[in-house]
Amino acid sequence: MVKTDYVFTSESVSEGHPDKVCDRISDSIVDLYLGADPQARIAVETLATTNRVVLAGEVRGPASVTHDRLIETARQAIKDIGYEQAGFHWKNAEIECHVHEQSVDIAVGVDAAGNKDEGAGDQGIMFGYAVRETEELMPAPIYYAHNILRSLSAARHADANSLLGPDAKSQVSLQYKNGKPVGATSIVVSTQHDESVDVAEVREIVRPHVLKVLPEGWMCPEDKFYVNPTGRFVIGGPDGDAGLTGRKIIVDTYGGAAPHGGGAFSGKDPTKVDRSAAYAARYLAKNVVGAGLADRCTIQLSYAIGVSHPLSVYIDTAGTGRVDEEKLSAVLQELVNLTPRGIRTHLGLNRPIYTRTSSYGHFGRAAEADGGFSWERLDLVDELKRIFG
């Protein structure tokens, strides 16, 4: 029996969270390489702690992208986030670079040669999801959790004298009735702040951002509105807790409302199906729901390293589908070539469009004119409606 009345919770973290600092740096490096060579291969990890950043990974790209440029890119990313604190400062942080050439064994498996098409950059399973809970066809808890922090971040960047710091978290718990969200049962926001303000002041700084983001009447009871529950959050960012690339994969996707294949996105070029196939799966699922063929859709793709075509394409509409799922799977594979090359071509992924994905979710964002968030387009809707009547 499907549960219809329940409370579901998702969390988000800001661009100043230690792990997101690392995602931002890694994706800035991806963009640096793809801007210099759209066919570059990149797999870069970042570690950050008190005034120290370490870059490591494997790349294949132009010699013009030197270690010095990678270090400068990392420094600029930290500056853009807004870190000018004693324990983590864009100007003073020591940055080490241990990035080196990609393994020739991996390159042989992935590269196209003769009659062999380009293969997947790794084995793995990837999921895409869409649901009719928000206009963007995202699960409501993660959507609102992201937008609370995006609002706080925009205000901080717009005010040179802001009393808030870059590091922040949010958590939204929504009550569902008959399977649909109807309001918040609790809201948690923890945000780094200046030493001059106390928790009561921070609470009132945060409150209007929550009220602006939530639908009218959805605010939780006052005693379930938690702002900086520990009472103090002055030391934050990598100075308060070490960060690593790829540790916030549920924040990056659907907030736990849908499965995740396990692979992180940031720091990887689009030949890595961890990233590109997850984008393709979201694209397909969103168009299925957008076309009215289902109210909820989960799509799983699986790949083997060096093999071009997916090993499986699984679709689950959770009982909300209005068409046969096997036929739907076949139609989607006809409409979109799900090889790594096919995905990159269809969605235009060999471009420097990834820095902007590194915080506030890879999904549920508006497709942009330069190709950013191309996987959020609804350009298959008309064809799906035509095919399925």
Binding site members for Mg(2+): 19
Annotated active-site residue in 37, 52, 56, 58:
58
Mapped onto helix, strand or coil, the DSSP state of residue 287 is: helix
Annotated active-site residue in 23, 27, 45, 269:
45
Active site residue 19: yes
Annotated active-site residue in 11, 19, 23, 118:
19
Active site residue 177: no
Active site residue 382: no
What is the C-alpha to C-alpha distance for residues 192 and 189, in angstroms, rounded to an integer? 10
Active site residue 248: yes
Please name the residues in contact with 339: beta carbons below 8 A apart, sequence gap of 6 or more: 117, 118, 308, 309, 310
Active site residue 204: no
What is the C-alpha to C-alpha distance for residues 120 and 308, in angstroms, rounded to an integer? 6
At 372, which amino acid appears? G
What is the C-alpha to C-alpha distance for residues 384 and 285, in angstroms, rounded to an integer? 12
Active site residue 116: no
At 211, which amino acid appears? L
Annotated active-site residue in 127, 233, 363, 373:
233
Phi-psi region of 292 (alpha: psi -120 to 50; beta: other; left: phi over 0): left
Annotated active-site residue in 111, 201, 241, 383:
241
Annotated active-site residue in 75, 156, 272, 275:
272
Annotated active-site residue in 169, 193, 209, 365:
169
Which positions make up the binding site? Answer: 17, 19, 45, 58, 102, 167-169, 232-233, 241, 247-248, 264, 268, 272
Which positions make up the binding site for K(+)? Answer: 45
Active site residue 45: yes
What is the C-alpha to C-alpha distance for residues 222 and 185, in angstroms, rounded to an integer? 10
Active site residue 58: yes
Active site residue 223: no
Annotated active-site residue in 20, 60, 344, 365:
20
At 309, which amino acid appears? H
What is the C-alpha to C-alpha distance for residues 88 and 51, in angstroms, rounded to an integer? 5
Active site residue 111: no
Element (H, E) at 184: strand 180-193
Annotated active-site residue in 24, 193, 248, 282:
248
Active site residue 242: yes
Which positions make up the binding site for L-methionine? Answer: 58, 102, 241, 272
Active site residue 79: no
- Known catalytic residues? 17, 19-20, 45, 58, 169, 233, 241-242, 247-248, 268, 272, 274
